[in-house]
């Protein structure tokens, strides 16, 4: 195979530190973004489910608007447009926040769907037994909703990792940008793009296997 020639392996060895740094950066952006998206999205999902008409309307506008905007546009908006209002974000900060805001819209819909799929009788029965609504939500509704949300949350996490490739356009040195810099040095285009794709595949596959493990662990037995 062509990919097995000595020149490629020498270049790969020389570039291993850069690829490791790019992988770490991509993971850092993705993990922080999904954490922000999960927290913000869960709150918006609760607003969609239990809020009054005004709160539900505001939450729905957020979800529909953000889901309708391409991730690349959000990234550019956070990095460039916010400077108009004197908010100057570093590339890493802009990348994390834009991906976090985008994933929050999807998590909000997951949360709303997971909670609304639960039978209302469970809430009524818990309240009849003397449980307050916060306790009913925490001990009865939330554990069941999480089981329904988990598979789609894992998918959103994977999509966030893939979306992290776009932050290279504002100068975040993640795997894609590192790969382009390496190719500019050695012109081994196909081979190093294959390495880049393999790294992303390994990350995505690991997250998918983690999701399967968590699904089995928290499944109702």
Whole-prediction pTM value?
Answer: 0.88
The residue to which tokens 């999960």 are assigned: 38
pLDDT at residue 126, as a whole number? 76
Query: What per-residue confidence (pLDDT) applies to 114?
Result: 86
- Assigned token pair, 118: 């639960």
Q: What is the DSSP letter of 165?
A: G
C-alpha 164/C-alpha 203 separation (Å) is 12
pLDDT confidence band for 123 (50 / 70 / 90):
confident
Cα separation of 216 and 46, whole Å?
26
Give pLDDT tens digits for 140-176: 777 788 888 888 999 999 999 999 999 999 999 999 9
Write the DSSP assignment of 98-120 as a string of letters: HHHHHHHHHHHHHHHHHHHTS-H
Q: CATH classification of 2-217, choosing from 2.102.10.10, 1.10.3720.10, 1.10.530.10, 1.10.220.110?
A: 1.10.3720.10
- Please check whether residue 104 is in contact with residue 35, taking contact to mean a CB–CB distance below 8 angstroms: no
Q: Cα(112)–Cα(45) distance, rounded to whole angstroms?
A: 5
pLDDT at 3: 46
pLDDT at 79: 94
- Give pLDDT tens digits for 177-200: 999 999 999 888 999 999 999 999
């Amino acid at each position: 195979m062509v990919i097995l020639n000595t020149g490629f392996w020498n270049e790969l060895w020389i570039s291993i530190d850069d690829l490791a740094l790019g992988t770490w950066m991509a993971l850092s952006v993705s993990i922080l973004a999904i954490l922000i998206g999960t927290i913000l999205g869960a709150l918006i999902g609760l607003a969609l489910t239990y809020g009054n008409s005004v709160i539900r309307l505001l939450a729905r506008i957020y979800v529909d608007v953000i889901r309708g905007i391409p991730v690349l546009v959000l990234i550019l908006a956070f990095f460039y447009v916010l400077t108009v209002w004197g908010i100057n974000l570093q590339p890493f900060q802009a990348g994390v926040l834009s991906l976090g805001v985008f994933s929050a819209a999807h998590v909000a819909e997951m949360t709303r769907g997971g909670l609304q799929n639960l039978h209302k009788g469970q809430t009524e029965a818990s309240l009849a037994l003397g449980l307050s609504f916060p306790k009913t939500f925490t001990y009865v509704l939330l554990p069941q909703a999480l089981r329904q949300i988990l598979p789609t949350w894992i998918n959103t996490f994977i999509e966030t990792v893939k979306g992290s490739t776009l932050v290279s356009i504002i100068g975040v040195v993640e795997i894609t940008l590192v790969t382009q810099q390496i190719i500019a040095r050695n012109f081994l285009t196909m081979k190093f793009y294959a390495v880049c794709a393999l790294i992303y595949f390994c990350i995505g596959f690991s997250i998918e296997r983690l999701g399967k493990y968590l699904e089995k662990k928290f499944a109702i037995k």
